Amino acid sequence: MTSERSEADTVAYSVENGIAWVKFNRPEKRNCMSPQLNRQMMRVLDELEYDDSVGVLVLTGEGTAWSAGMDLKEYFRENEAKGLGAVRQAQSEAYGWWRRLRWYQKPTIAMVNGWCFGGGYGPLHACDLAFAADDAQFGLSEINWGILPGGGATKVATNLMPMRKAMYHAMMGENIDGTTAAEWGLINEAHPADALRERVTEVANVLLEKNPVALKATKDAVRRVMEMTYDNAEDYLIRAQEAANSFDNDGRKEGIKQFIDDKTYKPGLGSYDRTQQG
């Protein structure tokens, strides 16, 4: 038996002023990730990725949770009962949309409105930026029910937090609130719940003003160079810059022109005006 909500209804979204607000939409199950939700999320990401009306994607949750991690019944127990093939298929559906999100064409922001557990760390890390309610709760609860933080969660914890904090977080099964999550590096900032959307909108609006080719190249570069030696990173960045230039030479030239010739802005203080681009 699976839940009664239709697959299409496990994810909700709307697009407003260039921002796609995508929601985990199983509030009655605290937005835990079932195979249906994972498949639907991939469809929604697919639909929005090259939609010209979308400049930034925000991932948030309906109700009291961001996501209570994997669905212990529908993702774990029911698939384990079917056998290894079903387990692997469910994994690839979940990991597939997280990977898609990690390398998404548009900038992405996690807006963590409530509970965020275990498997939820996959999409949390996949988003480029993360903002949470100060009373949101983050936990690697795997240890509390007898597994290790798999599905990338251990890697996420060690990527984002210093080793002692990651170890404590993974071994103790205690939750931290949004304020502590910001201090530990899991997210960028924590805000009172009623101010969260306003702050995320403000950040998204800044991103909407930037050159989108440069933004995609920048977000990829940050993730790629983390795993490179200095020399490899230097080489990668030369190639990435050249590739970005070949796709957006005019934007880059316009940025230089508005500063050097027109004197209409200063790059140290804000973005050039993309609407002036010929």
Contact residues for ligand ACO, defined by CB under 6 A: 29-30, 32, 64, 68-73, 115, 117-119, 141-142, 151
User: Which of 64/245 has CB closer to ligand ACO?
Assistant: 64
User: Which of 117/138 has CB closer to ligand ACO?
Assistant: 117
User: Which of 72/238 has CB closer to ligand ACO?
Assistant: 72
CB of 250 vs ligand ACO, minimal distance in Å: 45
Other CB atoms within a 10 A radius of the CB of residue 13 amount to 18
Contact present, 274 and 209 (Cβ < 8 Å):
yes
User: Which of 145/247 has CB closer to ligand ACO?
Assistant: 145
Other CB atoms within a 10 A radius of the CB of residue 146 amount to 6
CB of 143 vs ligand ACO, minimal distance in Å: 9
d(CA 78, CA 268): 54
CB of 140 vs ligand ACO, minimal distance in Å: 7
d(CA 19, CA 64): 22
CB of 47 vs ligand ACO, minimal distance in Å: 26
d(CA 132, CA 190): 5
CA 9 to chain centroid, in Å, comes to 21
Residue 226, judged by CB atoms within 10 A of its CB (0-12, 13-18, 19+), counts as exposed
d(CA 82, CA 65): 29
User: Which of 173/185 has CB closer to ligand ACO?
Assistant: 173
CB of 193 vs ligand ACO, minimal distance in Å: 15
Return the bridge partners of 176, or none.
138
